[in-house]
Amino acid sequence: MTRTRHSSDLLPALGFLLPNFLGFLLFTAGPVVFSFGASFTNWDLQHSVPFAFIGADNFRQLFGSEEFWVYLINTVYLMIGLPFAIAGSLALALMLSQKLRGMTVYRTLFYLPTFTYGVALMVLWKKLYSPEFGPINVSLGAITRALHLPFEPPKWLQSADNLMGMVPQHVAFHRQYVGLGAREALINMSVWVALGGNNMLLYLAALTNVPQELYEAAEIDGANKWKQFWHVTWPQLAPTTFFIIVISTIFGLQGGFEIARIMTEGGPAGTTTTLAYYIYIKAFQEFQMGYASAIAWVLFAMIFAITLMNWRFGSRAVNE
């Protein structure tokens, strides 16, 4: 038990932190604090109203607007692919960490979507999802015809339908809207991009740090592959999994911006508008910087709460 004896490393810690901390303070923390202040003002890039602190007015208006809740639900709904993406990238990483020939090539190919220019990705997916000629619907149509199913192929990106029957532009449900639509199309697409992307790379990196001796010891104990995974690999990957979950939650809740801007313009009927895109619209189309900051900080509060929960839960898993 060496843990009891240590003294504080405050001074060297300061030294190590300093280069990053200075830049962080200036370029990150400063603007963030500024935006926090802005969320309590009527800062508007357009109106001739004098700049003033208006207390929690922005927040009150925000919570009272149906738009906000609709977009919040959109944002959360679009994240339902995350667990699949994370599990899938772990599976891929496990496969790719085997000592087989040609692994370098596979790893590079899997990572290709991350290199590919965003516009190319989106044009291709639009083609894949095309209701009439797209390969997805053509094959779906062939299957349903062969099985004589009374099922019309979905219109994907042009449809406001969804699996939960959410009514566009309202916080409500209706049977009419049950189906596959733009949001499911985007969920598929994001899982696909994420599979071979950064998470896979992180898992690959983490797998190389698992000491080989642990596997050898487990093998001597007669553990099969499955047991080895749960008793050796999985605990060793815990800090990485924790990182991936936290970061995916953070970026997921802030996500959907690029796709909305380039691919769907937030439509049809606002069904692919996420909070991040909404903030952008408020700030740069409607010029209400104060209001946009308020949304951003509500989003922050939610992410922070989720991360704290992750943290408590995760630290236990990581440290013990």
Partner 1 sequence: MASASARKQLAAHVILALVALVMMLPFIWMFLASFKTVREVEGSQIFPPTWHTENYTKVFADPEIAKRSNFGRYYFNSVFVAAWVTFLTCITSAMAAYAFARLRWRGRDTVFLLYLGTLMVPGVVTMIPNFALLVKLKLLDSYAGLIVPASFSAFGVFLLRQFMLTIPTSLDEAAAIDGASKWRIFWDVILPLTRPGLIALAIFAFIGNYQSLFWPLVVVKSQYLRTWPVGMLFFDTTYGRETTLIMAASVMATLPPLILFVVGQKFLVKGIQLGAVKG
Partner 2 sequence: MKLFIVSTFVVLVLLSFAAWRTRPRPADPSKIQLVWSTDDNPFRREQLDPFNRLYPRYHLDIDPNNPEVEKVIVQSAAGVGPDVFDCWSGFALTAFVKADIAWDITDELKKMHIDVEKETWPAVQPTCVYDGRVYGFPENAAANGLWFHKDLLREAGVEIPRGPWTWEQAVPLLKKLVKKDATGRTIRYGLVLDWDNNYRQFILQWGGHMYTPDGTRCTLDSPQCIAAIEFMQSLVQEGIVPDMAAEKSLATSGGYGGTSVITLFADKRSATAIGGRWWLCSMRDPQFRDLQLGAAEAPYGVEHVFAGYGKSTLINKYSPHRYEALAFLAYLHGREYNELINHEADGVGPVMKYADEPAFLHDPDYPKEDYNQIWRSIQKAAVPEEVSPFMNGAVLQRLMVGQLDLIRGGDRTAAEGMREATRQVNRRIAENLRFDPKLREEYEGRRSRNID
Binding site for partner 2 (CB under 8 A): 42, 44-49, 54, 61, 123, 126-127, 129-134, 155, 157-160, 168-169, 176-177, 265-270, 281, 283-287
What is the closest distance, in whole angstroms, from the C-beta atom of residue 119 to partner 2 in the complex?
Answer: 8
- Detail the DSSP E strand segments found in the chain: none
Q: Nearest approach, Cβ of 297 to partner 2 (angstroms)?
A: 19
**Residue 168 partner contact from partner 1, partner 2, none using kind-dependent CB cut-offs of 5 to 8 Å:** partner 2
**Residue 198 lies near partner 1 (rule: CB under 8 A):** yes
Residue 153, both tokens = 């192929």
Q: Residue 147 and residue 131: Cα distance in Å, rounded?
A: 20
Which of 1, 4, 8, 50 touches partner 1 (CB under 8 A)? Answer: 8
Closer by beta carbon to partner 2, 156 or else 297: 156
**Minimum distance from residue 32 beta carbon to partner 2 (Å):** 17
Cα–Cα distances in Å, from 175 out to 25, 96, 161, 172, 302? 51, 43, 10, 10, 30
Spatial separation of the C-alpha atoms in residues 134 and 202, rounded to whole Å = 34
Per-residue binding letters, 141-180, with partner 1 (x by CB under 8 A): ----------------------------------------
Using CB under 8 A, pick the residue from 70, 72, 92, 185 that binds partner 1.
92
**Single-letter amino acid, residue 254:** Q
Q: Which is nearer to partner 2, 52 or 301 (CB)?
A: 52
Among positions 178, 267, 311, 317, the unique one binding partner 1 when judged by CB under 8 A = 311
239 CB neighbour count, 10 Å cutoff: 16
C-alpha–C-alpha distance, residues 82 and 252, integer Å: 8
Could you say which of 100, 146, 147, 220 contacts partner 1 (CB under 8 A)? 100
Spatial contact of 183 and 204, defined as CB atoms under 8 Å apart:
no
46 binds, among partner 2, partner 1, none (CB under 5 to 8 A by kind): partner 2
258 closest CA partner among 52, 59, 96, 118: 118
Tell me which residues in 63-82 interact with partner 1 (CB under 8 A). none
Residue 10 half-sphere exposure, CB side, CA atoms within 13 Å?
2
| Residue 40 touches partner 1, criterion: CB under 8 A | no
Residue of the chain from 70, 85, 206, 218 that contacts partner 1 (CB under 8 A): 206
CB 42 to partner 2: min, Å:
6
Tell the smallest beta-carbon distance from residue 178 to partner 1 (Å).
28
Between CA 67 and CA 61 the distance in angstroms is 11
| C-beta separation of 245 from 314 below 8 A | yes
Do 278 and 295 form a contact (C-beta atoms < 8 A)?
A: yes
